[in-house]
Chains A and B, each alone.
Chain A
Amino acid sequence: MVEFGIEFVPRDLYWRTTFYAIQAEKRGFNYLWITDHFNNRNVYVSLATVAAYTDRIRFGPGVTNPYMVHPVVTAQAVASLDEIAPGRVVCGLGAGDKTTLEMLDVQQSKPLSAIREAIQIIRGIVHGGSLELKGDVFKISGAKLSFRAANPIPIFIGAQGPKMLMLAAEIGDGVLINASHPKDVEDALVHIGEGAKKAEKKLRELEVGVYTSFSVAEKVDKAVKAVVPVVAYIVAGCPDVVLERHGISKEKASMIKDAIVQGKWKEAFSQVTPEMVEAFSICGTPDACVEKVNQLTKLGATQIVIGSPIGPNIRESINVIADEISPHFKKS
């Protein structure tokens, strides 16, 4: 059995995002992730609203990063959310989106150390502890919250590269594999296995989420049209080794990235090819999406995150997923 998560990007009006969050809960989604980028609505404001208007779904940042948000603030935020929605909060943490961080000249320095120390900090103080840390990236002296989260807050680490995947398995409660294609997930699982082994964990102790870009519609061309902008961003930030795995040229990826950075959206999107869509999204009719999700679950995914854009019409697509896709993977 696999669980289904859903991602919302708070680019939209808060009440629309919240409407879809309520819908996702009603339709049986298990997790809800809100993205964290400086140019969209604040992730924790969005999550607090979700917390207030839902009752059961687990939710959290998907994912925040320790460069834009200091880990003590992340600890503060998720502990605060736990007070509003006890036992439902999860925390997704990763090294951040390179393209948007570069816009602010924020350097992703020592990402492995940053993530390792961020998790130490979050776990160290979220339940009321006091922390001393002289790390490579963070230095903490006697930091303590004046309140505490009463419930466990699982930390999922968002990862794509081998070392981060290993680290995620070693120290995380879960991994969010930033990928949509079985080739990438298969490769990721090798590194996740190595990390789990290093920590003497069994793989089944770890939640393995595949954080996809997803677009479902009855007509393929509508699904593709919706997913192209998201795929453009993915290609722009994609490591060379992943591009090579899918036979996508670095030069083409670079051109898309340059266009995005310059705000030339039409130009960026026009350069997205069918091969890129195939490599970096689950996109198509419900049956086609079932087939692709099936491949991922057979590899060992325990959670499929339905990431942006979800589909050309979010409300319809949530219902399609709940009616025609997820039932194939849930216990009856």
Chain B
Amino acid sequence: MTLEKIVKRIPVSLFAVASEKLTDVILESRNADKMPSDLAKPILHHWQKDQLSTEAGLQLLLEASVAVDLEKTIVVMEGLGLAEIATMLREIKQLGKT
């Protein structure tokens, strides 16, 4: 299950709050240096254009959040009531790949 497909399972009504929470994970992560620059740049571009709460923006944030702190990302999804997504992310963790 790719992150692109995972994002499609997030209800549109939760895009804004999910975007906020994943942004917090990324900004507050102690492993923020794991964010690749070629992921940081499109995130900044989407932020500049107020597009972090779109499907495309959320996909970027999810990819970044998983890269810097998969465990916290799982917690965010659980907190949003997205248990299915949290399970998918756990499977990613177990497989050791995204």
From known contacts A13-B32, A16-B32, infer whether A315 and B48 are also in contact, taking CB-CB under 8 Å.
Answer: no
Do B48 and A22 touch across chains, with their CB atoms under 8 A apart? yes
Question: Is B45 close to A, CB under 8 A?
Answer: yes
Q: Which 10 A-B pairs have the closest CB atoms?
A: A15-B40, A53-B44, A53-B48, A22-B47, A22-B48, A18-B44, A13-B32, A315-B27, A15-B44, A13-B33
Question: Is B35 close to A, CB under 8 A?
Answer: yes
Instruction: Kindly state the separation between the CA atoms of A301 and B16 in the bound complex, as whole angstroms.
Output: 38
Q: Interface of A with B (CB < 8 Å)?
A: 13-16, 18-19, 22-23, 26, 53-55, 313-315
Q: Mark B11-31, 1 if CB is under 8 A from A, else 0.
A: 000000000000110011000
Do B47 and A19 touch across chains, with their CB atoms under 8 A apart? yes
Q: Mark B40-52, 1 if CB is under 8 A from A, else 0.
A: 1101110110100
Instruction: Kindly state the separation between the CA atoms of A54 and B50 in the bound complex, as whole angstroms.
Output: 12
A18 CB contacts on chain B under 8 angstroms: 44
Do B37 and A15 touch across chains, with their CB atoms under 8 A apart? yes
Contact of B27 among A14, A19, A26, A54 (CB under 8 A): A19
CB closest residue in chain B, given A15:
B40
Most buried by A among B37, B48, B50: B48
B37 CB contacts on chain A under 8 angstroms: 15
Do A19 and B32 touch across chains, with their CB atoms under 8 A apart? no
Do B48 and A54 touch across chains, with their CB atoms under 8 A apart? yes
Looking at chain B's contact residues, is the secondary structure mostly helix, strand, loop, or mixed?
helix
From known contacts A53-B45, A53-B48, infer whether A315 and B33 are also in contact, taking CB-CB under 8 Å.
Answer: no
Q: How far is the CB of A70 from chain B (nearest CB, A)?
A: 30
Instruction: Kindly state the separation between the CA atoms of A14 and B43 in the bound complex, as whole angstroms.
Output: 13
The residues in B between 76 and 93 inclusive whose CB is less than 8 angstroms from any CB of A are none
Q: How far is the CB of A111 from chain B (nearest CB, A)?
A: 37
A313 CB contacts on chain B under 8 angstroms: 28
Do B35 and A13 touch across chains, with their CB atoms under 8 A apart? yes
B47 CB contacts on chain A under 8 angstroms: 19, 22-23, 53
Do A16 and B27 touch across chains, with their CB atoms under 8 A apart? yes
CB closest residue in chain B, given A55:
B48
Instruction: Kindly state the separation between the CA atoms of A206 and B64 in the bound complex, as whole angstroms.
Output: 45
Do A19 and B44 touch across chains, with their CB atoms under 8 A apart? yes
CB closest residue in chain A, given B41:
A15
Q: How far is the CB of B60 from chain A (nearest CB, A)?
A: 12
Interface CB pairs A-B, < 8 A, 21: A13-B33, A14-B40, A15-B40, A15-B41, A15-B43, A15-B44, A16-B27, A16-B32, A18-B44, A19-B27, A19-B43, A19-B44, A22-B44, A22-B47, A22-B48, A53-B44, A53-B45, A53-B47, A53-B48, A55-B48, A315-B24
CB closest residue in chain A, given B20:
A315
A23 CB contacts on chain B under 8 angstroms: 47
Q: How far is the CB of B21 from chain A (nearest CB, A)?
A: 12
CB closest residue in chain B, given A13:
B32
CB closest residue in chain A, given B36:
A15
Instruction: Kindly state the separation between the CA atoms of A169 and B40 in the bound complex, as whole angstroms.
Output: 41
Q: A13-B32, A14-B40, A16-B32 provided; 5 other pairs, C-beta below 8 A?
A: A18-B44, A19-B27, A19-B47, A53-B45, A53-B47
A26 CB contacts on chain B under 8 angstroms: 50
Instruction: Kindly state the separation between the CA atoms of A327 and B24 in the bound complex, as whole angstroms.
Output: 25
CB closest residue in chain B, given A315:
B27
Instruction: Kindly state the separation between the CA atoms of A13 and B68 in the bound complex, as whole angstroms.
Output: 13
B45 CB contacts on chain A under 8 angstroms: 53
Do A15 and B35 touch across chains, with their CB atoms under 8 A apart? yes
Q: How far is the CB of A217 from chain B (nearest CB, A)?
A: 15
A13 CB contacts on chain B under 8 angstroms: 32-33, 35
Q: How far is the CB of A25 from chain B (nearest CB, A)?
A: 9
B33 CB contacts on chain A under 8 angstroms: 13
B40 CB contacts on chain A under 8 angstroms: 14-15
